[in-house]
């Protein structure tokens, strides 16, 4: 297992980092799996109405953003797994940042190489931020259930 520099880890403690400690990868994967199931259900239901794949992708991004912004930083999967998404300074996500983050996630599903790269970045980052988190300046942290 990789050693984390003590000064870096000190920045990640709840006292030192307003956003809190990073969430374990296993819980993030579980949350994303739940969200993906929800998205598939919405996607399947919506594709019976719309024939344009771009419109379907837009609906999925909007769906994710509504879940991230309105309930204070947690999709359905993140809520069930006790996680939340916040800015690295601990504040709530803005609509712009949530859109950027979810658009990056959709791209990672469409282009699997980017999805693999996101996971590799998460595994090698002491703050457990993926590319989508870095671009949107967000951090996924545990939240008490």
Q: What is the pLDDT of residues 79-105, one digit of tens each?
A: 889 998 888 888 888 888 888 888 888
Q: What angle do CA 9, 10, 11 make, to 5 degrees?
A: 90
Give percent of the chain with pLDDT exceeding 70: 66
* C-alpha 86: how far from chain center: 10
Residue showing tokens 């797994």: 81
Q: pTM surpassing 0.75?
A: no
- Of 4-13, 33-42, 117-126, the poorest mean pLDDT is in 4-13
Has residue 35 got a pLDDT over 70?
A: yes
The average pLDDT across 51-61 equals 68
């Amino acid at each position: 297992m990789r050693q984390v520099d003590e000064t870096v880890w000190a920045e990640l403690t709840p006292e030192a980092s307003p956003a809190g400690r990073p969430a374990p990868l296993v819980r993030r994967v579980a949350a994303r799996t739940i969200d993906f199931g929800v998205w598939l259900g919405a996607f399947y239901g919506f594709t019976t109405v719309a024939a344009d794949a771009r419109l379907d992708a837009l609906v999925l991004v909007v769906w994710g953003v509504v879940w991230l912004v309105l309930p204070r930083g947690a999709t359905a999967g993140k809520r069930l797994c006790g996680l939340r998404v916040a800015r690295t300074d601990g504040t709530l996500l803005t609509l712009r940042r949530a859109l950027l983050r979810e658009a990056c996630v959709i791209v990672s599903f469409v282009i699997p190489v980017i999805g693999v790269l996101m996971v590799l970045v998460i595994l090698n980052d002491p703050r457990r931020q993926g590319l989508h988190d870095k671009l949107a300046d967000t951090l996924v942290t545990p939240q008490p259930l």
